[in-house]
């Protein structure tokens, strides 16, 4: 899953980027509102973490303009704990709201919940035959035995499972699994698909020639 963090405080921005990457997310960042809006409109992120007080353009303006084009889930961050501010953010189209200082584990849990709801899978556990995909714990088990996966392998499975039955193109997978900083070699996706099939089963991820991949 690919996230965008728009935050002007460098230490906080770097900390969020590192923590979310450690959770297995592909993460892009923006230090100001102008760059944040450009990236939010240019790519289809799975969720956006958006600060309110930003240089160039504040979070309210970004959210207002973004909602005219996209439904990307947005978690607003603010140092102000006023009810009016929370109402304003929600009325402009924010999906969730978190006041600084916040607990990092709570932010990550809220991001996970936003992504699940946007994909139409509010239940954190998806079961496919003997395979259980726990999107809260970010684990996968087969016949109740945990499968050791890399962060990118898990992200691939979660994205396809949340769109179960839908063929997902290679381009869409690249856009949602890799950040702008990642080196996206042409065969990298094939390598991850191959590794997942070895660990879970050769028919778990199916190829649709000329179209993409599907978990069905």
The torsion defined by the Cα of 86, 40, 161 and 113, in degrees rounded to 10, comes to -10
Average pLDDT over every residue of 77-102? 83
Residue 187 confidence (pLDDT) above 80: no
What b/e sequence results for 37-61 when a residue is b if at least 16 CB atoms lie within 10 Å of its CB, and e otherwise? bebbeebebbbbbbbbbbeebebbe
pLDDT at 200: 93
Average pLDDT over every residue of 103-122? 90
**97-101, 106-110, 120-124, 210-214: lowest mean pLDDT where?**
120-124
**20-24, 42-46, 83-87: lowest mean pLDDT where?**
83-87
pLDDT at 104: 94
pLDDT confidence band for 129 (50 / 70 / 90)? confident
pLDDT at 57: 95
CATH 3.40.190.170, domain 125-214, yes or no: no
Q: In the chain, what are the domain boundaries? A: 2-118, 125-214
pLDDT confidence band for 10 (50 / 70 / 90)? very high
Asked if domains 2-118 and 125-214 share a fold, the reply is no
Most confident of 31-45, 79-93, 114-128, 178-192: 31-45
Higher confidence at residue 112 or residue 187?
A: 112
Residue 171 confidence (pLDDT) above 60: yes
pLDDT at 86: 75
CA 65 vs CA 96, 160, 162: distances in Å:
17, 29, 28
pLDDT confidence band for 82 (50 / 70 / 90)? low
Q: What is the DSSP string of 82-109?
A: -HHHHHHHHHHT-SEEEESS--HHHHHH
pLDDT at 81: 67
Most confident of 77-91, 134-148, 181-195: 134-148
Q: Are 79 and 51 in contact (CB under 8 A)?
A: no
Number of H helices, E strands in the chain: 8, 11
Tokens matching residue 6: 């728009």
pLDDT at 185: 57
**Options 3.40.50.2300, 3.40.50.10300, 2.60.120.380, 3.40.190.10; CATH of 2-118:** 3.40.50.2300
């Amino acid at each position: 899953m690919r996230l965008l963090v728009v935050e002007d405080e460098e230490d906080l921005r770097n900390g969020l980027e590192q923590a979310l990457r450690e959770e297995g997310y592909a993460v892009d960042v923006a230090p100001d509102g102008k760059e944040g809006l450009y990236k939010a409109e240019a790519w289809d992120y799975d969720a956006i973490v958006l600060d309110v007080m930003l240089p160039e353009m504040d979070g309210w303006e970004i959210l207002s303009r973004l909602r005219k084009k996209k439904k990307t889930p947005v978690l607003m961050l603010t140092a102000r704990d006023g009810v009016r501010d929370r109402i304003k953010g929600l009325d402009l189209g924010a999906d969730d709201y978190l006041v600084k200082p916040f607990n990092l584990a709570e932010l990550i849990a809220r991001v996970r919940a936003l992504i699940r709801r946007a994909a139409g899978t509010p239940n954190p556990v998806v079961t496919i035959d003997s395979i259980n995909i726990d999107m809260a714990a970010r684990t996968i088990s087969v016949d109740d035995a945990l499968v050791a996966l890399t962060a990118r392998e898990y992200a691939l499975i979660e994205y396809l499972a949340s769109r179960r039955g839908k063929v997902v193109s290679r381009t869409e997978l690249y856009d949602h699994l890799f950040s702008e900083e990642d080196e996206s070699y042409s065969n990298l996706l094939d390598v991850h698909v191959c590794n997942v099939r070895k660990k879970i089963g050769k028919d778990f991820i199916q190829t649709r020639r000329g179209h993409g991949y599907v978990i069905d």
